[in-house]
Amino acid sequence: MSRHPEVLWAQRSDKVYLTVALPDAKDVSVKCDPQGLFSFSAVGVQGESFHFSLELYGKVKPEGCKTNVGLRNIICSIQKEEKGWWKRLLKTEEKPAPYIKVDWNKWCDEDDEESNSDWAADGDAAEDINQEEGSSDDEGMLYLPDLEKARGK
Protein backbone atom coordinates (compact mmCIF):
# COMPACT_ATOMS: atom_id res chain seq x y z
CA MET A 1 0.00 0.00 0.00
CA SER A 2 1.27 3.46 -0.93
CA ARG A 3 1.35 6.36 1.53
CA HIS A 4 1.26 10.11 0.89
CA PRO A 5 4.05 12.36 2.20
CA GLU A 6 3.28 15.95 3.17
CA VAL A 7 3.49 18.23 0.10
CA LEU A 8 3.98 21.99 0.42
CA TRP A 9 3.40 24.23 -2.59
CA ALA A 10 4.08 27.83 -3.60
CA GLN A 11 4.06 29.69 -6.89
CA ARG A 12 5.61 32.54 -8.82
CA SER A 13 4.27 33.85 -12.11
CA ASP A 14 6.54 31.46 -14.04
CA LYS A 15 6.95 28.47 -11.68
CA VAL A 16 5.32 26.25 -9.10
CA TYR A 17 7.37 24.82 -6.25
CA LEU A 18 6.46 21.52 -4.62
CA THR A 19 8.36 20.46 -1.50
CA VAL A 20 7.83 16.81 -0.57
CA ALA A 21 8.66 16.19 3.10
CA LEU A 22 10.31 12.78 2.95
CA PRO A 23 13.65 12.45 4.81
CA ASP A 24 16.29 10.11 3.38
CA ALA A 25 14.12 9.10 0.41
CA LYS A 26 15.44 6.55 -2.09
CA ASP A 27 14.47 5.68 -5.66
CA VAL A 28 12.86 9.10 -6.18
CA SER A 29 10.96 9.38 -9.46
CA VAL A 30 9.30 12.59 -10.64
CA LYS A 31 7.46 13.02 -13.94
CA CYS A 32 5.92 16.18 -15.41
CA ASP A 33 3.47 15.80 -18.29
CA PRO A 34 2.91 18.82 -20.61
CA GLN A 35 -0.82 18.71 -19.80
CA GLY A 36 0.00 19.31 -16.12
CA LEU A 37 0.01 15.79 -14.70
CA PHE A 38 2.68 15.59 -11.99
CA SER A 39 3.66 12.14 -10.66
CA PHE A 40 5.90 11.36 -7.71
CA SER A 41 7.11 8.09 -6.22
CA ALA A 42 9.83 7.20 -3.74
CA VAL A 43 10.81 4.68 -1.10
CA GLY A 44 11.05 5.87 2.51
CA VAL A 45 13.83 5.14 4.97
CA GLN A 46 12.00 2.06 6.32
CA GLY A 47 11.21 0.68 2.86
CA GLU A 48 7.65 2.03 2.70
CA SER A 49 6.33 3.12 -0.70
CA PHE A 50 5.17 6.70 -1.30
CA HIS A 51 3.27 7.73 -4.43
CA PHE A 52 0.95 10.49 -5.57
CA SER A 53 -0.21 12.19 -8.77
CA LEU A 54 -1.52 15.72 -9.09
CA GLU A 55 -3.43 17.19 -12.01
CA LEU A 56 -2.04 20.72 -11.91
CA TYR A 57 -4.15 23.78 -12.72
CA GLY A 58 -2.33 24.61 -15.97
CA LYS A 59 0.05 23.22 -18.55
CA VAL A 60 3.77 22.95 -17.80
CA LYS A 61 7.05 22.64 -19.69
CA PRO A 62 8.47 19.18 -18.87
CA GLU A 63 11.99 20.28 -19.84
CA GLY A 64 11.71 23.11 -17.28
CA CYS A 65 10.92 20.77 -14.38
CA LYS A 66 13.83 20.29 -11.98
CA THR A 67 14.10 18.12 -8.90
CA ASN A 68 16.57 18.33 -6.04
CA VAL A 69 16.68 15.49 -3.53
CA GLY A 70 17.84 16.80 -0.15
CA LEU A 71 18.43 15.03 3.13
CA ARG A 72 15.01 16.02 4.55
CA ASN A 73 12.89 16.71 1.49
CA ILE A 74 12.57 16.70 -2.28
CA ILE A 75 12.04 20.07 -3.95
CA CYS A 76 10.49 20.20 -7.40
CA SER A 77 10.58 23.37 -9.48
CA ILE A 78 7.95 23.16 -12.22
CA GLN A 79 8.00 25.69 -15.06
CA LYS A 80 4.58 26.90 -16.20
CA GLU A 81 3.91 26.85 -19.94
CA GLU A 82 2.47 30.36 -19.79
CA LYS A 83 3.56 33.02 -17.33
CA GLY A 84 0.75 33.99 -15.01
CA TRP A 85 -0.81 33.30 -11.63
CA TRP A 86 -2.86 30.17 -11.12
CA LYS A 87 -6.04 30.43 -9.03
CA ARG A 88 -5.08 27.22 -7.24
CA LEU A 89 -2.62 24.34 -7.50
CA LEU A 90 -4.97 21.69 -8.88
CA LYS A 91 -7.28 21.68 -11.88
CA THR A 92 -10.22 20.41 -9.82
CA GLU A 93 -12.20 22.90 -7.76
CA GLU A 94 -12.59 20.36 -4.96
CA LYS A 95 -10.71 20.85 -1.72
CA PRO A 96 -7.18 19.42 -2.13
CA ALA A 97 -6.10 16.30 -0.24
CA PRO A 98 -5.11 16.92 3.40
CA TYR A 99 -1.45 16.14 2.68
CA ILE A 100 -1.20 19.19 0.34
CA LYS A 101 -0.53 22.49 2.11
CA VAL A 102 0.65 25.99 1.21
CA ASP A 103 4.35 26.66 1.72
CA TRP A 104 4.15 30.08 3.37
CA ASN A 105 7.97 30.28 3.56
CA LYS A 106 8.20 30.37 -0.24
CA TRP A 107 4.88 32.01 -1.03
CA CYS A 108 4.93 35.20 -3.09
CA ASP A 109 1.82 37.21 -3.92
CA GLU A 110 1.31 38.76 -7.34
CA ASP A 111 1.68 42.23 -5.83
CA ASP A 112 4.94 41.27 -4.09
CA GLU A 113 6.48 39.94 -7.28
CA GLU A 114 5.46 43.04 -9.25
CA SER A 115 6.75 45.49 -6.62
CA ASN A 116 10.07 43.59 -6.46
CA SER A 117 10.46 43.77 -10.24
CA ASP A 118 9.71 47.51 -10.17
CA TRP A 119 12.32 48.02 -7.47
CA ALA A 120 14.84 45.93 -9.44
CA ALA A 121 14.37 48.26 -12.42
CA ASP A 122 16.37 50.85 -10.45
CA GLY A 123 19.57 49.29 -11.76
CA ASP A 124 22.06 48.24 -9.08
CA ALA A 125 19.26 46.90 -6.88
CA ALA A 126 18.59 44.01 -9.28
CA GLU A 127 21.43 41.91 -7.88
CA ASP A 128 20.21 42.39 -4.31
CA ILE A 129 16.69 41.30 -5.28
CA ASN A 130 17.96 38.13 -6.93
CA GLN A 131 19.89 37.19 -3.82
CA GLU A 132 17.05 38.11 -1.45
CA GLU A 133 14.28 36.48 -3.41
CA GLY A 134 16.48 33.61 -4.64
CA SER A 135 15.21 33.96 -8.18
CA SER A 136 17.77 31.55 -9.59
CA ASP A 137 16.63 28.15 -10.86
CA ASP A 138 17.94 26.57 -7.65
CA GLU A 139 15.75 28.74 -5.42
CA GLY A 140 15.13 27.13 -2.09
CA MET A 141 16.72 23.88 -3.20
CA LEU A 142 18.59 23.32 0.09
CA TYR A 143 17.32 24.20 3.53
CA LEU A 144 19.82 25.33 6.18
CA PRO A 145 19.55 22.13 8.31
CA ASP A 146 20.35 20.09 5.18
CA LEU A 147 23.33 22.31 4.43
CA GLU A 148 24.67 21.93 7.97
CA LYS A 149 24.21 18.15 7.83
CA ALA A 150 25.96 18.02 4.44
CA ARG A 151 28.90 19.96 5.88
CA GLY A 152 29.11 17.46 8.74
CA LYS A 153 28.13 19.84 11.55
Residue 127 lies in a domain: no
Q: What is the pLDDT of residue 114?
A: 65
E strands of the chain, at which residues?
6-11, 15-21, 26-32, 37-43, 49-55, 66-69, 73-79, 100-102
Q: What is the pLDDT of residue 83?
A: 96
How high is the mean pLDDT in each 10-residue block of the chain (153 residues)?
A: 89 96 96 97 95 97 96 97 96 94 88 58 38 44 53 56
DSSP class of 64: G
- Domains contained in the chain, number: 1
Residue 136 lies in a domain: no
Q: What is the pLDDT of residue 126?
A: 36
Q: What is the pLDDT of residue 152?
A: 60
Residue 144 lies in a domain: no
pTM of the model: 0.73
Structural domain boundaries, residue 81: 7-101
Q: What is the pLDDT of residue 122?
A: 41
What are the two backbone dihedrals, phi and then psi, of residue 120, each rounded to the nearest 5 degrees?
A: -65, -20
Query: Domain of 95: which CATH number?
Result: 2.60.40.790
Residue 130 lies in a domain: no
Residue 55 lies in a domain: yes
Residue 49 lies in a domain: yes
Residue 153 lies in a domain: no
* Residue 63: partners with Cβ closer than 8 Å, 6 or more residues away: 79
